[in-house]
Amino acid sequence: MLRAYLLQTHEMLFDAHWHGFRVFGGVPARGIYDNMKTAVDRVGRGKEREVNMRFLAMTNHYVFEPEFCNPAAGWEKGQVEKNVRDSRHQLLHGMPDFADLAALNVWLEQHCLELWKSTAHGTRPGTIADIWAEERAALMPLPVAFDGFIELSKRVSPTCLISFERNRYSVPASFANRPISLRIYPDRLVVAAEGNILCEHPRVIQRSHQLPPRTIYDWRHYLAVLQRKPGALRNGAPFLELPPAFRQLQGQMIRKPGGDREMVDILALVLQCDEQAALMAVELALAEGVATKTHVLNLPRTA
């Protein structure tokens, strides 16, 4: 049986199921849940539930049966909450610092598996790991992960940005002032429109409202704007994070008349060929000391 705890958002709940099933080595026949809002839209009489459609889609994908506890019937869940509380204390006591969330998750998974080996099952002889080894054969095969995103409709601002969780993310300039679909995953945001994926950003999660909102740019999204306004390249916020070679070339180009326009034409190579090829052309031109538009534009054809 699977016990899923109330998470803040549907996409995180879906992600938790996938990682749980992955570690278990398969899918159980049923899962027992509280009447959490991420799974149940309405609690009816007895066992009657109006299940959230996205949650139902997930259970259908993994082919397991969800069961919901009766309201205010804590005994139906056994010692799950106490066991989780005790395990949390054991796991997190003396936990080191981590560079990022991915490293933390790897550490937690390893220590959970170690804890299973040293923790008695409680109702059957052996450890949790022993019983898990016996029950694993009864699990259903693990399919591909459920595509557990939540979708929101957004309108792109005139400055080619969309807002989500206090932060703003850039979108290709051709979609300014147009509607898009935002697909929300635990670790990333995917922007789609007209049946195509437009772009993707790592999701920035800031729990503290004391921190200022952030704007996450992708300079490539603004190349079409530069064609009309090459001067924006000098001080435009999206272009502060150009690759070092592009920044170095820009520093040389803007010293001469028409340098902004020439630099825009060089950056436009990214729209015409592989970005790494364009970057290599710029690096070669800088190394050869021939940092001119004509030389750079010819290099990708021979690189």
Q: pLDDT tens, position by position, for the chain (303 residues)?
A: 333 333 347 788 999 999 999 999 999 999 988 888 888 999 988 888 999 999 999 999 999 999 888 876 655 666 667 777 777 777 777 788 888 888 988 998 998 899 899 888 888 999 999 999 999 999 999 999 999 999 999 999 999 999 999 999 999 999 999 999 999 999 999 999 999 999 999 999 877 778 899 999 999 999 988 888 888 888 889 988 889 999 888 888 888 888 888 888 888 888 777 788 888 888 888 888 887 788 887 775 554
C-beta separation of 170 from 217 below 8 A: yes
Residue reference for tokens 């052996």 = 126
C-beta separation of 58 from 17 below 8 A: yes
Across the strands, what pairs with 215?
A: 168
Terminal-to-terminal C-alpha distance of the chain: 57
Domain coordinates in residue numbering, the chain? 2-138, 150-216, 223-302
Across the strands, what pairs with 269?
A: none
Residue reference for tokens 């000098």 = 234
**Sign (positive/negative) of CA torsion 255, 260, 266, 270?**
positive
Across the strands, what pairs with 163?
A: 168
Question: What is the CATH T-level fold of the domain 2-138, as seen in this structure?
Answer: Nucleotidyltransferase; domain 5 (3.30.420)
* Rounded distance between C-alpha atoms, residue 222 and residue 239, angstroms: 9
Q: Which own/partner pairs from 216-222 qualify as long-range (CB within 8 Å, at least 24 positions apart)?
A: 216/167, 216/168, 216/169, 216/170, 217/170, 217/241, 218/170, 220/172, 220/270, 220/275, 221/160, 221/170, 221/171, 221/172, 221/173, 222/160, 222/170, 222/173
Q: Which residues, 6+ apart, have CB-to-CB distance to 21 below 8 Å?
A: 27, 62, 142
Residue reference for tokens 């005790």 = 86
